[in-house]
């Protein structure tokens, strides 16, 4: 691949910024230290989170690619930047839950920690002002956010990722409780986009059930970046 130069800022989200590049098919994705929860209501800068998540995401995306899940990830550029394919994003979040935690506990009045067998799936509409409301596949089709085929593929791929990552985390002594994925299209193909990092999943220690993910930030448990690094170390990410 030719040498790609960083271009102008395209958009800045809660934790990452996207920059144009000299190749029209690619973006620079910059992982910042900014950390947010509750749809941006709680915010803090946590030193080292950007570089930790950049490397974490690269490892997971590489792993998924090798196992046959196509992603937007191309390569690491620097400590806090990655090169990614320019996707047309679907404004929908795909969540799989293996264990009840977070919003499902509130919504359905169930206790945290219950096994969900089979794992369950939820779609959310990506809109902070509306607090990412839960939607179903009919909403997605009626509002034209994605086609029927894309809806089917998002579900299939999100469950495929669950089979792969549940095992990866289990072998490293952790439980993958739940996670969120986002997809987009590139030349007509549906690719996994955005990120897979401890910001967008729940991970517990298998023995102690200690929370190691962004719930440490949401619930003021402390050692947020340190815990992300513990997950990374257990997975063999240097």
User: What string of DSSP letters covers 173-218?
Assistant: TEEEEEEEE-EEEETTEEEE-S--STTSEEEEETTT--B-STHHHH
Interface residue with ligand TMP, options 74, 178, 182, 194 (CB under 6 A): 178
- 43/75 with CB nearer ligand TMP: 43
Q: Of ligand ASP, ligand TMP, none, which one sits near residue 179, judging by CB under 5 to 8 A according to partner kind?
A: ligand TMP
Q: Of ligand ASP, ligand TMP, none, which one sits near residue 178, judging by CB under 5 to 8 A according to partner kind?
A: ligand TMP
Q: Of ligand ASP, ligand TMP, none, which one sits near residue 36, judging by CB under 5 to 8 A according to partner kind?
A: ligand ASP
Of 73, 88, 93, 89, nearest to 28 (Cα)? 73
x-or-dash string of contact with ligand TMP, 179-218, rule CB under 6 A: xx-------------------xxx----------------
- Under rule CB under 6 A, which residues in 123-142 are in contact with ligand ASP? 132
Q: Which single residue is written with the structure tokens 């994925």? A: 181
- 104/164 with CB nearer ligand ASP: 104
Q: Of ligand ASP, ligand TMP, none, which one sits near residue 91, judging by CB under 5 to 8 A according to partner kind?
A: none
CB of 93 to ligand ASP, least distance (A): 9
73 token code pair = 């990830």
Q: Of ligand ASP, ligand TMP, none, which one sits near residue 38, judging by CB under 5 to 8 A according to partner kind?
A: ligand ASP
Residue 64, Cβ density class (10 Å: 0-12 exposed, 13-18 middle, ≥19 buried): buried
- The verdict on 71 binding ligand ASP (CB under 6 A) reads no
Beta pairing class for 26-31 and 115-125? unpaired
Of 34, 150, 23, nearest to 83 (Cα)? 23
- 30/202 with CB nearer ligand TMP: 202
Q: Which phi-psi region, left, alpha or beta, contains residue 2 (left: φ > 0; alpha: ψ -120 to 50)?
A: beta
x-or-dash string of contact with ligand ASP, 20-59, rule CB under 6 A: ----------------xxxxx-------------------
Beta bridge partner(s), residue 44: 35
Report the alpha-carbon distance of residue 157 to residue 85 in Å, rounded: 18
CB of 222 to ligand TMP, least distance (A): 19
122 token code pair = 């939820």
Residues that bind ligand ASP (CB under 6 A): 14, 36-40, 132, 214
């Amino acid at each position: 691949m030719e040498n790609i130069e960083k271009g102008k800022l395209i958009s800045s989200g809660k934790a990452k910024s996207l920059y144009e590049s000299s190749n029209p098919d690619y973006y620079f994705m910059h992982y910042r230290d900014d950390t947010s929860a509750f749809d941006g209501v709680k915010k803090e800068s946590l030193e080292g989170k950007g570089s930790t998540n950049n490397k974490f995401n690269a490892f997971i995306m590489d792993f998924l690619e090798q196992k046959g899940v196509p992603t937007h990830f191309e390569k690491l550029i620097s400590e806090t930047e990655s090169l990614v394919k320019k996707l047309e994003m679907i404004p929908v979040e795909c969540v799989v839950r293996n264990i009840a935690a977070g919003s499902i506990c509130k919504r359905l009045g169930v206790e945290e920690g219950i096994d969900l067998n089979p794992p369950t799936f939820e779609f959310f509409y990506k809109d902070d002002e509306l607090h990412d409301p839960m939607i179903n596949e009919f909403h997605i089709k009626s509002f034209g956010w994605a086609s029927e085929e894309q809806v089917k593929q998002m579900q299939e791929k999100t469950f495929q990722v669950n089979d792969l990552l549940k095992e990866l985390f289990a072998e490293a002594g952790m439980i993958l409780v739940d996670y969120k994925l986002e997809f987009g299209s590139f030349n007509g193909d549906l690719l996994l986009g955005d990120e897979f990092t401890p910001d967008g999943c729940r991970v517990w220690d298998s023995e102690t059930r200690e929370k190691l993910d962004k719930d440490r930030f949401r619930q003021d448990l402390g050692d947020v970046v340190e815990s992300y690094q513990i997950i990374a170390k257990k997975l063999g990410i240097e």
